Structure 1
Amino acid sequence: MNYERVKEKLEILADAAKYDVSCSSSGGNRKNTNKGLGDSSASGICHTYTEDGRCVSLLKILLTNFCIYDCAYCVTRKSNDIQRAAFTVDEVVDLTINFYRRNYIEGLFLSSGIFKNADYTMERLVLVAKKLRLEHNFNGYIHLKSIPDASDELMREAGLYADRLSMNLEIPTESGLKLLAPDKNHQQMIKPMGFVKNEILVYKEEKKKFKSTPKFAPAGQSTQLIIGATQETDFQIIKVADHFYNDFNLKRVYYSGYVPISNDNRLPPLGSQVPLIRENRLYQADWLMRFYGFKADEILEKNNPFLDLEVDPKLGWALRNIDKFPVNLQFGSLEMILRVPGIGVKSAYKIINARRFQSLTLEHIKKMGVASNRAKYFITVANVNKSLQFLDSINLKNIILNETKSKFENPFSNQLTLLNDDSFLR
């Protein structure tokens, strides 16, 4: 092997893969029971995140950045004048094994530009996973990026060797995709996703009857939406995500703000990158749908199609529906307690359990992890000053924003981060 050439390829193809954020390694539980290499259970996967939340625990590369498509938003489009490279199957396998043995990585995220055709590319991605599993007895985490329009046979084989499969929808709407990638259509992407969904269900049912049934994509499938390359509203984006969660049983939808890479009158101008706060608000809205029981139509509506960048979507909903508050924590339903700003999922269940034995006070719920500085305006407990509960939504929003600002300005404030379950939607 020419190690200098492989190193050069690695620099090119790892850099090209950075635009794909759907590489989370969560959800895998493949056990190492045969003295093989690696383990994708919680103890085997190291979750490392960059400052803006992207997972960097995997060897994240493209098989090649050659591509037959000319998608305007993509850095690897065929008309872009960039340095091209392609790994062989054996080079990717050797890199994965050697990096794992050196404790650089805990798994592999493998995507690719499309060369020749969909099946030709997908076949090589599958072959990498197959060699790792069968020839090297690798039990670590493998995430394969599915290729649009790949055959059912290849998708089935991919699911037998990979822990997670993902198919990027890229642009949220068909009209937006047609504008920027006229050679593609969403049906090419949806068909393999539907096949994987059905196969996951089939293998789960088979597993109930026969213990020897192999796992099929045990960490499920995910997708990614590019935000801001076209003019979709947050409402449209959330509706698309909600549809795929409900109809395709996706594990995750990832949101990636478009990074301007070329002068093209179909695209936003250079230097107009989507603010990270918009990505963050979309992830928070996504969290509400997945864990808090919100419907997409509740978070936003057609005449209010963009998320408020000043406040998180949960607080935004509460301010628009202030007539539903205050919620009596001693007797209120779990559904409404979950909708109180400042109360996370874990804290909501603690409240439900604790109120059976005592009359709850503000001090009690603070100890349960509730952000009482925010929640106190939306709840009734034994010792809360009720005078603030009758403020109008505009004044209440300003009060909460001012309190939040003062906490950020205080370097000694114990401000919770967005990665904490109970603080994610405060």
Structure 2
Amino acid sequence: MELIDKLSILADAAKYDASCASSGAPKRSSEGKGGLGSTNGMGICHSYTPDGRCVSLLKILLTNFCLYDCQYCVNRRSSDVPRARFSPEEVVTLTLDFYRRNCVSGLFLSSGIIRSADYTMEQLIRVAKLLREEHQFRGYIHLKTIPEADPLLIEEAGRYADRLSVNIELPTDAGLQTLAPEKDVISIKQAMQTIHIGEQTVRSEPRAPRFAPAGQSTQMIVGADATDDSTILHSAEALYGNFGLRRVYYSAFSPIPNSPKSVPLAAPPLMREHRLYQADFLLRSYGYRASELLQGPGDLALDIDPKLAWALDNRQVFPLDLNRAEATLIARIPGIGLRTTQRLIELRRQRKIRYEDLTRMRCVLIKARPFIITSDYHPPLAETSSAILHGQLRDKPQPQQMGLWG
């Protein structure tokens, strides 16, 4: 098979994995060092760096042949999709060629399981090792970790990759056992723990070898089973706490050709995936708990964002006097973010905060207004009903959504 034909198959097969972020990578440059490539420490496929540059990763599978028959996966053993396999040398050639054409800044490499977990992991490591040692490639490398692989291989992968990821796939052990019985939840978490220990070792021992400086991430598939958003967020919260993950990515289940009857025939609303990302950001950056965002079983509201939903459910906290309230509470006001919170704290050290200050800071006042008090503003009583506010502040209906990859 021609290399271009392999690329067509294996790039398309890789699109279902959302966990290809490169945030947190160290700055490296080839200038004056004889190497090739650079990274400025942030970027996702077709995303943007802090200085405004578009950063892309070559996102491919080493192979879409697989020993496993995971029911939600297009590359499962029983699927009739076209198959292909790269050699490690072919992946290296593609990565360098795309880099020299200024198409990518790095590589995201995953794979189906072939022969064994150890053999597959060895092949992935060989790609990274060739890039780093033979070609002095200094760009970003993200390797997918094979959970059942020997921990020593995972440790070796961390010496060459900027980020490692171990996909949990489904948020519950029961869901994984039902749809992917050949996968082992224990081995997935053991692999995460191996990476976590490697990160901790580097932080505690200054002379320790470099190890996955951009940390680890994972992916959960949303809508492949009946798991609700509350369970998903509690699972994500546990993963952040137990393994120090940098990110949990959420991927709306996409019906695949000739899907088995064990998975849905229709995709969940893409807005559900969006709301989970918003809620995840509140967990990571704002100090919310999963139990605050959803107090019981169920899904996040689709018509309002999770921060607004929390504020409407906790009206006893509001309105907040911006000249007196703690910063952590101000950050929970809908329409006011972390940076604006810090600017408000700095401003009130100099003088009283006025309503026009919020306008100047570009707060989303249509959302913030019912929840704030300033030196010259107090929300009218007519805006105190959560039901009325929900109706007023709900998101406008969006045009019909395109397919997940359309």
Same fold judged by TM-score > 0.5?
Answer: yes
Task: Provide the C-alpha distance between the structure 2 equivalents of 1:56 and 1:265, rounded to a whole number of angstroms.
Answer: 39
| Residue 20 (structure 1) aligned to one of 17, 24, 31 | 17
What does residue 341 of structure 2 align with?
A: 348
User: Does structure 1 conserve the Cα–Cα contact (< 8 Å) formed by 2:154 and 2:191?
Assistant: yes
Q: Secondary structure at the match of 1:377?
A: helix
Task: Provide the C-alpha distance between the structure 2 equivalents of 1:27 and 1:115, rounded to a whole number of angstroms.
Answer: 31
What does residue 80 of structure 1 align with?
A: 79
Residue 268 in 1 paired to residue 267 in 2?
no
Per-residue Cα deviation, 1:164-188 (whole angstroms, up to 9, x for no partner): 0000000111111111111112112
Residue 221 in 1 paired to residue 222 in 2?
no
Per-residue Cα deviation, 1:191-248 (whole angstroms, up to 9, x for no partner): 11101101111022222xx3xx432100000000000001001000000000011111
Identity %, equivalent residues: 47
Residue 10 in 1 paired to residue 4 in 2?
no
Q: Read off the aligned partner of 2:238 and give its amino acid letter.
A: H
| Residue 48 (structure 1) aligned to one of 46, 49, 55 | 46
What does residue 282 of structure 1 align with?
A: 276
User: Does structure 1 conserve the Cα–Cα contact (< 8 Å) formed by 2:230 and 2:299?
Assistant: yes
What does residue 227 of structure 2 align with?
A: 232
**What does residue range 4-403 of structure 1 map to in structure 2 within 5 Å?**
5-32=2-29, 34-42=33-41, 48-49=46-47, 57-207=56-206, 210=207, 213-261=208-256, 262-269=258-265, 272-303=266-297, 305-388=298-381, 391-401=384-394
Name the TM-score, length of structure 1 as normaliser: 0.88
Q: Deviation at 1:383?
A: 2.4
User: Does structure 2 conserve the Cα–Cα contact (< 8 Å) formed by 1:167 and 1:189?
Assistant: yes
User: Does structure 1 conserve the Cα–Cα contact (< 8 Å) formed by 2:70 and 2:76?
Assistant: yes
Q: Secondary structure at the match of 2:380?
A: helix
Q: Read off the aligned partner of 1:368 and give its amino acid letter.
A: M
Q: Secondary structure at the match of 1:224?
A: strand
Task: Provide the C-alpha distance between the structure 1 equivalents of 2:129 and 2:27, rounded to a whole number of angstroms.
Answer: 15
Q: Deviation at 1:99?
A: 0.8
Q: Secondary structure at the match of 1:376?
A: helix
Per-residue Cα deviation, 1:402-421 (whole angstroms, up to 9, x for no partner): xx649x99xxxxxxxxxxxx
User: Does structure 1 conserve the Cα–Cα contact (< 8 Å) formed by 2:304 and 2:393?
Assistant: no
Q: Secondary structure at the match of 2:142?
A: strand
Q: Deviation at 1:18?
A: 0.3
Say how many residue pairs are matched.
391
Per-residue Cα deviation, 1:113-153 (whole angstroms, up to 9, x for no partner): 00011000000000100010000000000000001211111
User: Does structure 2 conserve the Cα–Cα contact (< 8 Å) formed by 1:45 and 1:107?
Assistant: no
Ranges in structure 2 where 5+ consecutive residues have no aligned partner = 49-53, 400-406
Q: Secondary structure at the match of 1:235?
A: helix
Task: Provide the C-alpha distance between the structure 1 equivalents of 2:72 and 2:156, rounded to a whole number of angstroms.
Answer: 30
Q: Secondary structure at the match of 2:147?
A: coil
Per-residue Cα deviation, 1:273-302 (whole angstroms, up to 9, x for no partner): 111100000000000001111011101022
Give me the CA root mean square deviation. 1.9
- Bigger mean CA offset, 257-266 vs 232-241: 257-266
1:332–1:119 distance in 2 versus 1, CA, 3 Å:
same
Q: Deviation at 1:258?
A: 0.3
Ranges in structure 1 where 5+ consecutive residues have no aligned partner = 410-426
- Bigger mean CA offset, 24-33 vs 307-316: 24-33
Q: Deviation at 1:46?
A: 7.7
Q: Deviation at 1:371?
A: 1.0
Q: Read off the aligned partner of 1:369 and give its amino acid letter.
A: R
Q: Secondary structure at the match of 1:386?
A: coil
1:389–1:220 distance in 2 versus 1, CA, 3 Å:
farther
Q: Secondary structure at the match of 2:249?
A: strand
Task: Provide the C-alpha distance between the structure 2 equivalents of 1:223 and 1:389, rounded to a whole number of angstroms.
Answer: 45
Name the TM-score, length of structure 2 as normaliser: 0.92
User: Does structure 1 conserve the Cα–Cα contact (< 8 Å) formed by 2:66 and 2:113?
Assistant: yes
User: Does structure 2 conserve the Cα–Cα contact (< 8 Å) formed by 1:114 and 1:121?
Assistant: yes
Q: Secondary structure at the match of 2:220?
A: strand
Task: Provide the C-alpha distance between the structure 2 equivalents of 1:278 and 1:388, rounded to a whole number of angstroms.
Answer: 33
Task: Provide the C-alpha distance between the structure 2 equivalents of 1:295 and 1:322, rounded to a whole number of angstroms.
Answer: 18
